[in-house]
Amino acid sequence: MTIAGFLYPGHSAEDDYPVFAGMLGPGTELRVVHTLMREDAHRVDALLDVGSGEVLAEGARELRALGADSAVWACTSGSFVFGWEGAAEQAEAVGREAGCPSSSTSFAFVDAVRALGHSRVAVAATYPDDVAERFAAFLGQAGIAVEAWAGRGIVTAAEVGTLPPAEVLEFAAAGDHPDAEAVLVPDTALHTAGVLDALEERLGKTVLTANQVSVWQGLRLAGDTAPREGLGRLFRVGAAEAAAQRT
């Protein structure tokens, strides 16, 4: 049994994880621990608090008690807002407390892009522009060329979580760029588990979403790299590439 653990801030699209678990099949459990969100706001000061060490340490210790084989801080903006080095220290601290391999959604995006062999992306972010720009800069530090980025200007995770599937499809398509090999949709507050293949069919290219890459990263860190269908190209091709890298 593989147990992938996730620290999830507040409540918005955590119901994506049971959907993923059902599609992954038997032998895999996704354990979600909710972490403290004092203020629901895609604003830099609020995000620094959401991803603070004391908040994540408490959740990570709970994942340890649950027997998690991996730990992912499932919050894109609450990780990249710390910058590359700060986000790395954040993920490492989670791993120390959880007692298992660890990462965050921001690094999961980077690892997913690399696993698929892509180097040029577009970003369709729900965030205000100043926060979306920080994600683009984070990707740039990883050597990933951001051909275009756009922010939708939604301040709260609660509002993001109410966007219906049809609107998610339109939003992602609007953020595409002809030179991009993939479109990245960062925000774990966005429901995407049920539309991953539909997104790629609509855009005709790889689409990576926050909860998708978080689950992929959690499984990869736990040693589960079996390909799966119905969860986008990442779980078909990226899983096989991750498995090859381990051999």
What are the pLDDT digits (tens) for 67-94? 999 999 999 999 999 999 999 999 999 9
pLDDT confidence of residue 240: 57
Architecture of domain 2-108+211-231: 3-Layer(aba) Sandwich (3.40)
- Token readout for 156 is 């709260």
Q: What is the CATH number of domain 115-210?
A: 3.40.50.12500
What are the pLDDT digits (tens) for 149-196? 989 999 899 999 999 999 999 989 999 999 999 999 999 999 999 999
| 48-64 mean pLDDT | 96
Q: In the chain, what are the domain boundaries?
A: 2-108+211-231, 115-210
pLDDT confidence of residue 239: 56
The pTM score is 0.95
